Amino acid sequence: MGDGDGFKDLPVDIFVGSDYYRRSWIREKFKVGWWKLTGRNLEDNLRLARFRESEHLMKNFDIVQFINSNPFGCEPPVERKMLEYLVAHNDKCFLAACGDDYHYADYLTNRHEGYSILNAVKNDATLKPFLDHTYKYLGTGYKKNYQWLVEKSKAVIPSNVDYAMSLTHEVKATAIIPAPIIVSRYPLDQNEDLSTIHIFLGINRPNYWKKGINYFEEALEVLQATYGDKIKITIAENLPYKEYMTRLKSSHILLDQVLSYDQGYNALESMLKGKVVFAGAGPQFLEVHNLSEVAAIDAQPDVDDLVKRLSNLIENPERLLEIGKSARTHVLQFHDSVKIAAKYMEKYGF
């Protein structure tokens, strides 16, 4: 069950979202203005109503796994009503750490060393409003909901290195269970024509600063000036998931994100298709997973380093197909949904 994740329009079995305001520019502006004026989100009542309509479908399950302590995207008081219903009417609950929440925001703000999704604010405090989605979790209501849900959950399960870092001292935290992919949906799909190297950058504007897209954009400007017609750069912004995957098809290289220590879903799906992906793949990732190497390119918040790594691939294009095939092998080995399901079943106690 879910809300489709906004413009991505991901399919769900039980839809509890609302696009009423998003369908009209005027309504959307009114909603934003009302929120700024009162601190209340008008869409919350619509989401709660959708939830109430579907309550009969949400009872008597063995397991409820929450992807977040704020999975419905509502203000804390409304969110708490939905969380309490699910906890009260089902058996065991688990909380996956796979996105922003109170604990992660607190960790990044007060204890984390090194680069992070909040790098932009460290460099320029005026950018803080663009990262409100993360900072909002430091609010009292979000904190209380997080702590309550952790108390009600049997375990907190991190999905990657970034979130595991923040949970070092959480007694309910388990080892990482990587993100699952239904691998049969993604056949190898490489562009074997290496005469022009296609580089794809997908921009989700709300996450622009969190992902460090500015570093990629600066690097691409240098590459375009250096290589001209030898490369083709495609920049796609805020596309629905299906269209995003269609636009990605002819690319050799995907620029996914800079300010992470692991790979997210866009990266993993592209690696399955045999693309060369720039994402988190550095020493922290290798150490946690006990690996000597990973077939992804570690994207650091360093424009010169990004230019160097991309130039190496452009000038040695034969490596693209080789790295892409190794990337697919990595995802098949560590992210196959059947293997991941077995790991969850073990944690659930079955």
pLDDT score at 20: 61
pLDDT score at 282: 93
pLDDT score at 292: 87
Chain segment 263-274, per-residue pLDDT in tens: 999 999 999 999
Residues 229 and 257 in one domain: yes
pLDDT score at 37: 66
251 or 350: which carries more pLDDT confidence?
251
Residues 159 and 208 in one domain: no
Residues 138 and 194 in one domain: no
Reported as a pLDDT band with limits 50, 70 and 90, residue 147 is very high
Q: For residues 77-106, give the mean pLDDT.
A: 96
Domain span at residue 97?
A: 6-166
pLDDT score at 294: 86
Residue 133 lies in a domain: yes
Residue 204 lies in a domain: yes
Residue 117 lies in a domain: yes
Residue 348 lies in a domain: no
Residues 118 and 226 in one domain: no
Gap between the Cα atoms of 19 and 13, Å rounded: 17
Helix axes 213-227, 303-315, angle to 10 degrees: 50
Residues 205 and 140 in one domain: no
Gap between the Cα atoms of 69 and 36, Å rounded: 23
What residues contact residue 346 under an 8 Å CB cut-off, 6+ apart? Answer: none
Residue 349 lies in a domain: no
Q: Where is the domain boundary, 106, 138, 166?
A: 166
pLDDT score at 57: 95
pLDDT score at 31: 66
What residues contact residue 201 under an 8 Å CB cut-off, 6+ apart? Answer: 213, 216, 217, 220, 233, 234, 235, 236, 254, 255
Residue 325 lies in a domain: yes
Residues 188 and 279 in one domain: yes
Residue 339 lies in a domain: no
Q: For residues 10-30, give the mean pLDDT.
A: 74
Residue 51 lies in a domain: yes
Reported as a pLDDT band with limits 50, 70 and 90, residue 3 is confident
Helix (H, G, I), strand (E, B) or coil at 63: strand
pLDDT score at 55: 94
Task: Please state the domain count of the chain.
Answer: 2
Tokens of 259: 């300010």
pLDDT score at 69: 95
Looking up residue 323, the CATH number of its domain turns out to be: 3.40.50.2000
pLDDT score at 25: 64
Residues 106 and 195 in one domain: no
Opening angle at CA 205, ends 203 and 211, nearest 5: 65
Residues 161 and 305 in one domain: no
Q: For residues 226-246, give the mean pLDDT.
A: 88
Q: For residues 272-287, give the mean pLDDT.
A: 95
Residue 117 has pLDDT above 90, yes or no: yes
Residues 215 and 281 in one domain: yes
Residue 183 has pLDDT above 70, yes or no: yes
Q: In whole angstroms, how far apart are CA 268 and each of 239, 243, 302?
A: 18, 17, 23
Residues 61 and 197 in one domain: no
Reported as a pLDDT band with limits 50, 70 and 90, residue 260 is very high
Identify the sign of the CA torsion 76, 79, 84, 86.
Answer: negative
Identify the sign of the CA torsion 246, 251, 252, 257.
Answer: negative
pLDDT score at 179: 94
Q: Where is the domain boundary, 166, 200, 221?
A: 166
Reported as a pLDDT band with limits 50, 70 and 90, residue 65 is very high
Residues 216 and 151 in one domain: no
pLDDT score at 339: 97
The per-residue pLDDT of the chain, averaged, comes to 92
Q: Where is the domain boundary, 166, 197, 212?
A: 166
Residues 112 and 196 in one domain: no
Minimum mean pLDDT among 140-149, 286-295, 332-341: which range?
286-295
